[in-house]
């Protein structure tokens, strides 16, 4: 499989300001259903670190990097992005992964 045919897999790391943990959690949960309905979305699952409450990981898989860019332009993601800065203790970090095994 060539690099352009591979799925695009990443993990978004989002650390909430302590007073905004629940609000960030709810805003992230609100992204799941509309994102999963996007044509290029293969996987979109939210996790919270057990030993670090308020640190969220969104595991994302899209058909391509272009599909991720389309996702970032959707109204639901843009609405999230408009409020995220107030909720986050530090900038969102996107960790891009290369698949090594099946």
Q: Give the start-to-end residue ranges of the domains of the chain.
A: 3-97
Cβ pair 42, 7 in contact under 8 A = yes
Pairing verdict, β 8-15 and 55-62: antiparallel
pLDDT in tens, 33-65: 999 999 999 999 999 999 999 999 999 999 999
Query: pLDDT grade, residue 102 (50/70/90)?
Result: confident
Cβ pair 47, 57 in contact under 8 A = yes
Residue 95 has φ and ψ, to the nearest 5°, of -100, 115
Q: Is the predicted pLDDT of residue 2 greater than 60, yes or no?
A: no
Give the separation between CA 4 and CA 83, rounded to whole angstroms: 33
Provide the whole-model pTM. 0.90
Q: Which fold has domain 3-97?
A: Alpha-Beta Plaits (3.30.70)
């Amino acid at each position: 499989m060539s690099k352009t045919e591979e799925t695009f897999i990443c993990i978004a790391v989002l650390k909430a300001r302590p007073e905004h943990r629940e609000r960030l959690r709810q805003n992230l949960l609100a992204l799941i259903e509309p994102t999963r309905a996007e044509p290029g979305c293969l996987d979109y699952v939210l996790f919270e670190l057990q030993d670090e409450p308020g640190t969220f990981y969104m595991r994302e898989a899209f058909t391509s990097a272009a599909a991720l860019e389309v996702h970032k332009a959707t109204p639901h993601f843009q609405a999230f992005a408009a409020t995220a800065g107030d909720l986050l203790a530090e900038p969102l970090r996107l960790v891009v992964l290369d698949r090594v095994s099946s």
